[in-house]
Amino acid sequence: MATRDYYEVLGVPANATDDAIKKAYRKLARQYHPDRVQGAGKDAAEARFKEISAAYDTLGDAEKRKTYDQMRQFGPGFQPGGSQGPFGRSSRRGSSPFGGHGGGFGGGFSGGGFEDILDAMFGGGGTTRQTPSEPVEVPVHVTLEEALAGTSREVMNPRTGKQLRVKLPAGVATGSKVRAGDVMVEVTVKPHSLFERTGDDLRLDLPVTFWEAIDGAEIEVPTLDGAIKMKIPPRTQSGRTFRIKGKGMPHLKGEGRGDLFVKVQLHLPPEIDEQALALWRRLGTMAPYNPRAHMRRGG
Protein backbone atom coordinates (compact mmCIF):
# COMPACT_ATOMS: atom_id res chain seq x y z
CA MET A 1 0.00 0.00 0.00
CA ALA A 2 1.50 3.32 -1.06
CA THR A 3 2.42 5.79 1.66
CA ARG A 4 0.63 9.14 1.53
CA ASP A 5 2.74 12.22 1.08
CA TYR A 6 3.79 13.30 4.55
CA TYR A 7 3.17 16.99 3.86
CA GLU A 8 -0.35 16.09 2.76
CA VAL A 9 -0.83 14.03 5.93
CA LEU A 10 -0.01 17.03 8.12
CA GLY A 11 -1.80 19.49 5.84
CA VAL A 12 1.21 21.76 5.32
CA PRO A 13 3.05 22.90 2.17
CA ALA A 14 6.44 21.46 1.28
CA ASN A 15 8.13 24.75 2.21
CA ALA A 16 6.52 24.88 5.67
CA THR A 17 8.69 26.04 8.55
CA ASP A 18 9.64 23.75 11.42
CA ASP A 19 7.25 25.62 13.72
CA ALA A 20 4.38 25.26 11.25
CA ILE A 21 5.01 21.52 11.01
CA LYS A 22 5.10 21.16 14.79
CA LYS A 23 1.88 23.17 15.23
CA ALA A 24 0.09 21.11 12.58
CA TYR A 25 1.23 17.88 14.22
CA ARG A 26 0.09 18.94 17.69
CA LYS A 27 -3.32 20.00 16.42
CA LEU A 28 -3.91 16.75 14.54
CA ALA A 29 -2.47 14.59 17.34
CA ARG A 30 -4.93 16.06 19.81
CA GLN A 31 -7.81 15.66 17.36
CA TYR A 32 -7.16 12.02 16.51
CA HIS A 33 -5.64 10.73 19.76
CA PRO A 34 -7.31 7.34 20.48
CA ASP A 35 -8.07 8.36 24.08
CA ARG A 36 -10.28 11.19 22.81
CA VAL A 37 -12.26 9.18 20.25
CA GLN A 38 -14.81 6.63 21.37
CA GLY A 39 -17.14 4.21 19.62
CA ALA A 40 -16.98 3.06 16.02
CA GLY A 41 -14.46 5.69 14.97
CA LYS A 42 -11.77 4.67 17.47
CA ASP A 43 -9.96 2.23 15.11
CA ALA A 44 -9.91 4.78 12.29
CA ALA A 45 -8.63 7.45 14.68
CA GLU A 46 -5.85 5.16 15.88
CA ALA A 47 -4.76 4.47 12.29
CA ARG A 48 -4.85 8.19 11.49
CA PHE A 49 -2.89 8.96 14.64
CA LYS A 50 -0.16 6.51 13.63
CA GLU A 51 -0.03 8.06 10.15
CA ILE A 52 0.27 11.57 11.62
CA SER A 53 3.00 10.46 14.01
CA ALA A 54 4.95 8.74 11.23
CA ALA A 55 4.78 11.90 9.14
CA TYR A 56 6.02 14.07 11.99
CA ASP A 57 8.74 11.56 12.87
CA THR A 58 10.22 12.29 9.44
CA LEU A 59 9.34 15.94 8.83
CA GLY A 60 10.13 16.94 12.41
CA ASP A 61 13.73 15.75 12.02
CA ALA A 62 15.96 17.99 9.89
CA GLU A 63 18.09 15.20 8.41
CA LYS A 64 15.17 12.88 7.71
CA ARG A 65 13.19 15.71 6.14
CA LYS A 66 16.09 16.57 3.85
CA THR A 67 16.33 12.95 2.69
CA TYR A 68 12.57 12.71 2.28
CA ASP A 69 12.46 15.88 0.18
CA GLN A 70 15.12 14.41 -2.11
CA MET A 71 13.11 11.22 -2.54
CA ARG A 72 9.95 13.18 -3.37
CA GLN A 73 11.68 14.43 -6.53
CA PHE A 74 11.17 10.98 -8.07
CA GLY A 75 7.42 11.52 -8.03
CA PRO A 76 4.47 9.72 -6.42
CA GLY A 77 5.20 6.47 -8.27
CA PHE A 78 8.64 6.06 -6.72
CA GLN A 79 9.17 2.66 -5.08
CA PRO A 80 12.57 1.42 -3.91
CA GLY A 81 13.64 -2.11 -4.74
CA GLY A 82 14.78 -4.21 -7.68
CA SER A 83 18.20 -5.44 -8.75
CA GLN A 84 19.61 -2.35 -10.39
CA GLY A 85 19.98 -0.07 -7.41
CA PRO A 86 17.88 1.33 -4.64
CA PHE A 87 15.32 2.77 -7.07
CA GLY A 88 14.50 -0.45 -8.94
CA ARG A 89 15.94 0.65 -12.27
CA SER A 90 19.06 2.10 -13.81
CA SER A 91 19.20 5.79 -13.18
CA ARG A 92 18.99 7.90 -16.33
CA ARG A 93 19.34 11.09 -14.37
CA GLY A 94 22.87 10.46 -13.20
CA SER A 95 24.03 8.99 -9.96
CA SER A 96 21.53 8.58 -7.14
CA PRO A 97 21.75 10.90 -4.15
CA PHE A 98 21.20 7.81 -2.01
CA GLY A 99 24.16 5.64 -2.93
CA GLY A 100 25.01 5.76 -6.66
CA HIS A 101 24.05 3.38 -9.43
CA GLY A 102 24.73 0.18 -7.64
CA GLY A 103 22.48 0.03 -4.60
CA GLY A 104 24.18 2.13 -1.96
CA PHE A 105 22.16 0.62 0.88
CA GLY A 106 23.87 -2.76 0.79
CA GLY A 107 21.34 -5.17 -0.69
CA GLY A 108 18.50 -3.00 -1.83
CA PHE A 109 14.89 -3.12 -0.60
CA SER A 110 11.80 -5.18 -1.20
CA GLY A 111 9.57 -2.32 -2.20
CA GLY A 112 8.65 -1.16 1.31
CA GLY A 113 8.60 2.53 0.48
CA PHE A 114 10.01 5.60 2.17
CA GLU A 115 10.07 4.03 5.65
CA ASP A 116 12.54 1.33 4.55
CA ILE A 117 15.00 3.89 3.21
CA LEU A 118 14.67 6.11 6.27
CA ASP A 119 15.07 3.16 8.62
CA ALA A 120 18.19 2.03 6.80
CA MET A 121 19.71 5.50 6.81
CA PHE A 122 18.74 6.64 10.30
CA GLY A 123 18.11 3.65 12.48
CA GLY A 124 18.00 0.34 10.83
CA GLY A 125 20.87 -2.00 10.30
CA GLY A 126 22.84 -0.11 7.68
CA THR A 127 26.29 1.28 8.14
CA THR A 128 25.14 4.90 8.23
CA ARG A 129 25.46 6.58 11.63
CA GLN A 130 22.13 6.68 13.44
CA THR A 131 20.56 10.08 14.04
CA PRO A 132 18.27 10.17 17.08
CA SER A 133 14.88 11.74 16.41
CA GLU A 134 12.85 13.92 18.73
CA PRO A 135 10.38 12.15 21.03
CA VAL A 136 6.78 11.99 19.90
CA GLU A 137 4.50 14.20 21.99
CA VAL A 138 1.35 12.54 23.32
CA PRO A 139 -1.24 14.71 25.15
CA VAL A 140 -2.93 13.52 28.36
CA HIS A 141 -5.56 15.19 30.54
CA VAL A 142 -5.78 14.83 34.33
CA THR A 143 -8.02 16.25 37.05
CA LEU A 144 -6.75 18.65 39.70
CA GLU A 145 -7.18 15.89 42.29
CA GLU A 146 -4.99 13.57 40.20
CA ALA A 147 -2.38 16.31 39.86
CA LEU A 148 -2.42 16.69 43.65
CA ALA A 149 -1.77 13.03 44.43
CA GLY A 150 0.11 11.97 41.31
CA THR A 151 -1.28 9.41 38.90
CA SER A 152 -0.43 7.32 35.86
CA ARG A 153 -1.75 7.01 32.34
CA GLU A 154 -1.58 4.29 29.73
CA VAL A 155 -0.61 5.82 26.40
CA MET A 156 0.19 4.42 22.99
CA ASN A 157 3.59 4.83 21.42
CA PRO A 158 2.55 5.93 17.91
CA ARG A 159 5.82 4.71 16.41
CA THR A 160 5.46 1.14 17.65
CA GLY A 161 1.73 0.89 18.36
CA LYS A 162 2.54 -0.48 21.81
CA GLN A 163 0.89 0.65 25.03
CA LEU A 164 3.03 1.90 27.90
CA ARG A 165 2.20 3.20 31.36
CA VAL A 166 3.60 6.60 32.29
CA LYS A 167 3.82 7.77 35.89
CA LEU A 168 2.89 11.42 36.44
CA PRO A 169 4.35 12.84 39.68
CA ALA A 170 2.39 14.83 42.25
CA GLY A 171 2.30 18.52 41.38
CA VAL A 172 2.18 18.27 37.59
CA ALA A 173 0.63 21.30 35.92
CA THR A 174 -0.64 22.23 32.49
CA GLY A 175 2.40 22.23 30.23
CA SER A 176 4.37 19.72 32.31
CA LYS A 177 6.19 17.14 30.20
CA VAL A 178 7.16 13.64 31.29
CA ARG A 179 9.36 11.49 29.07
CA ALA A 180 9.06 7.72 28.75
CA GLY A 181 11.48 6.38 26.15
CA ASP A 182 10.81 8.10 22.85
CA VAL A 183 7.38 9.32 24.01
CA MET A 184 6.97 12.75 25.61
CA VAL A 185 3.71 13.06 27.56
CA GLU A 186 2.38 16.63 27.64
CA VAL A 187 0.02 17.23 30.57
CA THR A 188 -3.13 19.36 30.63
CA VAL A 189 -4.89 19.78 33.99
CA LYS A 190 -8.65 20.12 33.57
CA PRO A 191 -10.38 23.20 35.05
CA HIS A 192 -11.90 22.69 38.52
CA SER A 193 -15.38 23.78 39.55
CA LEU A 194 -14.17 25.42 42.80
CA PHE A 195 -10.43 26.06 42.70
CA GLU A 196 -8.29 28.18 40.41
CA ARG A 197 -4.62 27.30 40.23
CA THR A 198 -1.84 29.89 40.14
CA GLY A 199 1.53 28.18 40.15
CA ASP A 200 1.44 25.90 43.18
CA ASP A 201 -1.17 28.03 44.98
CA LEU A 202 -4.93 27.56 44.83
CA ARG A 203 -7.62 30.24 45.02
CA LEU A 204 -11.20 29.83 46.22
CA ASP A 205 -14.14 32.25 46.30
CA LEU A 206 -16.07 31.62 49.56
CA PRO A 207 -19.69 32.85 49.74
CA VAL A 208 -20.74 34.23 53.16
CA THR A 209 -23.99 35.72 54.40
CA PHE A 210 -24.44 39.28 55.61
CA TRP A 211 -24.86 38.21 59.24
CA GLU A 212 -21.78 35.94 59.09
CA ALA A 213 -19.72 38.89 57.85
CA ILE A 214 -21.18 41.25 60.51
CA ASP A 215 -20.93 39.01 63.58
CA GLY A 216 -18.12 36.67 62.53
CA ALA A 217 -18.48 32.92 62.15
CA GLU A 218 -16.69 29.60 61.91
CA ILE A 219 -17.24 28.40 58.35
CA GLU A 220 -16.55 25.09 56.66
CA VAL A 221 -14.11 25.59 53.79
CA PRO A 222 -13.56 22.96 51.08
CA THR A 223 -10.00 21.94 50.22
CA LEU A 224 -8.60 19.20 47.99
CA ASP A 225 -7.82 17.25 51.17
CA GLY A 226 -11.33 17.59 52.59
CA ALA A 227 -13.31 20.29 54.40
CA ILE A 228 -11.72 22.30 57.23
CA LYS A 229 -13.01 24.98 59.63
CA MET A 230 -11.97 28.61 59.21
CA LYS A 231 -12.92 31.55 61.45
CA ILE A 232 -14.29 34.70 59.86
CA PRO A 233 -13.74 37.66 62.22
CA PRO A 234 -16.57 40.14 62.88
CA ARG A 235 -17.12 42.91 60.32
CA THR A 236 -15.27 41.10 57.55
CA GLN A 237 -15.52 43.03 54.30
CA SER A 238 -16.43 41.34 51.02
CA GLY A 239 -13.26 40.71 49.04
CA ARG A 240 -11.02 40.08 52.05
CA THR A 241 -8.62 37.20 51.41
CA PHE A 242 -7.43 34.66 53.97
CA ARG A 243 -4.40 32.43 53.54
CA ILE A 244 -4.37 28.77 54.58
CA LYS A 245 -0.81 27.48 54.47
CA GLY A 246 0.05 24.13 52.94
CA LYS A 247 -3.32 23.49 51.28
CA GLY A 248 -2.21 24.22 47.74
CA MET A 249 -0.50 21.94 45.21
CA PRO A 250 2.70 19.97 45.86
CA HIS A 251 5.93 21.53 44.65
CA LEU A 252 6.99 19.49 41.63
CA LYS A 253 10.63 20.14 42.45
CA GLY A 254 11.26 20.03 46.17
CA GLU A 255 9.21 19.31 49.25
CA GLY A 256 6.15 21.05 50.63
CA ARG A 257 3.03 22.53 49.08
CA GLY A 258 1.66 25.85 48.01
CA ASP A 259 -1.08 27.71 49.88
CA LEU A 260 -4.84 28.11 49.57
CA PHE A 261 -6.12 31.69 49.31
CA VAL A 262 -9.76 32.07 50.35
CA LYS A 263 -11.55 35.21 49.16
CA VAL A 264 -14.74 36.18 51.00
CA GLN A 265 -17.69 37.03 48.76
CA LEU A 266 -20.75 38.60 50.41
CA HIS A 267 -23.98 37.01 49.17
CA LEU A 268 -27.43 38.43 49.92
CA PRO A 269 -30.50 36.19 50.16
CA PRO A 270 -32.18 35.78 46.76
CA GLU A 271 -35.61 36.28 48.36
CA ILE A 272 -36.67 38.21 51.50
CA ASP A 273 -40.19 38.24 52.94
CA GLU A 274 -41.86 41.41 54.18
CA GLN A 275 -41.22 40.69 57.86
CA ALA A 276 -37.50 40.17 57.33
CA LEU A 277 -37.31 43.21 55.06
CA ALA A 278 -38.84 45.34 57.82
CA LEU A 279 -36.10 44.17 60.19
CA TRP A 280 -33.40 45.06 57.64
CA ARG A 281 -34.86 48.55 57.31
CA ARG A 282 -34.92 48.96 61.07
CA LEU A 283 -31.27 47.88 61.28
CA GLY A 284 -30.45 50.49 58.65
CA THR A 285 -31.86 53.26 60.82
CA MET A 286 -30.25 51.91 64.02
CA ALA A 287 -26.76 51.69 62.52
CA PRO A 288 -26.56 54.33 59.78
CA TYR A 289 -23.52 53.98 57.55
CA ASN A 290 -22.69 55.49 54.19
CA PRO A 291 -19.83 53.66 52.39
CA ARG A 292 -19.83 56.42 49.73
CA ALA A 293 -19.22 59.31 52.09
CA HIS A 294 -15.63 59.72 50.86
CA MET A 295 -16.93 60.19 47.32
CA ARG A 296 -18.77 63.40 48.11
CA ARG A 297 -17.54 66.41 46.19
CA GLY A 298 -15.03 68.30 48.24
CA GLY A 299 -14.96 65.55 50.87
- Full DSSP string of the chain: -PPPPHHHHHT--TT--HHHHHHHHHHHHHHH-GGG--GGGHHHHHHHHHHHHHHHHHHTSHHHHHHHHHHHTT-TT----SSSSTTSS--SSSS-TTT-TT-TTTS---S--HHHHHHHHHTSSSSSPP-PPPPEEEEEEE-HHHHHH-EEEEEE-TTT--EEEEEE-TT--TT-EEEETTEEEEEEEPP-SSEEEETTEEEEEEEE-HHHHHH-EEEEE--TT--EEEEEPTTPPTT-EEEETT-SPBPSSSSSB--EEEEEEE---S---HHHHHHHHHHHHHS---TTGGGSTT-
Q: For residue range 165-217, what is the model confidence (pLDDT) as tens digits? A: 999 999 999 999 999 888 999 999 999 999 999 999 999 999 999 999 999 99
The pLDDT assigned to 268 comes to 87
Q: Which pLDDT value is given to residue 285?
A: 87
Residue-wise pLDDT for 276-288, tens only, equals 889 888 888 888 8
pLDDT at site 175 = 93
pLDDT-derived band at 251 (thresholds 50, 70, 90) equals very high
Nearest to 148 by CA among 227, 232, 55, 258: 258
Between 109-123, 124-138, 214-228, 256-270, the lowest mean confidence (pLDDT) is in: 109-123
pLDDT for residue 291: 82
What values do phi and psi take at 175, rounded to 5?
100, -15
* Phi/psi at 174 (5° precision): -60, 125
pLDDT > 60? residue 131: no
The amino acid at 95: S
* Length of the chain (residues): 299
Nearest to 247 by CA among 278, 222, 277: 222
Confidence of residue 297 (pLDDT cuts 50, 70, 90): low
For 5-51, how does the pLDDT look when each residue is reduced to its tens digit (9 = 90+)? Answer: 899 999 999 999 998 998 998 888 888 887 777 777 778 888 888 88
At residue 240, the pLDDT reads 97
pLDDT at residue number 33:
80
Domains defined for the chain, CATH in brackets: 6-122 (1.10.287.110), 136-189 (2.60.260.20), 195-286 (2.60.260.20)
* pLDDT tens for each residue of 263-272: 999 998 888 8
Query: How confident is the model at residue 84, as a pLDDT?
Result: 38
List all residues 6 or more positions away from 268 whose beta carbon is below 8 Å from its beta carbon.
210
8 Å CB contact between 138 and 156: yes
Per-residue pLDDT for 136 more than 80?
A: yes
Which pLDDT does position 181 carry in this prediction?
A: 85
pTM for the complete prediction?
0.58
Decide: helix, strand or coil at residue 140: strand
β pairing state of 201-208 and 260-266: parallel
Residue type (1 letter), 60: G
| The predicted structure's pLDDT at residue 133 | 65
pLDDT at 217: 96
What lies within 8 Å, CB to CB, of 238 at 6+ separation is 213, 264, 265, 266
User: What local confidence, expressed as pLDDT, does residue 130 receive?
Assistant: 41
Q: Looking at residue 120, what is its pLDDT?
A: 54
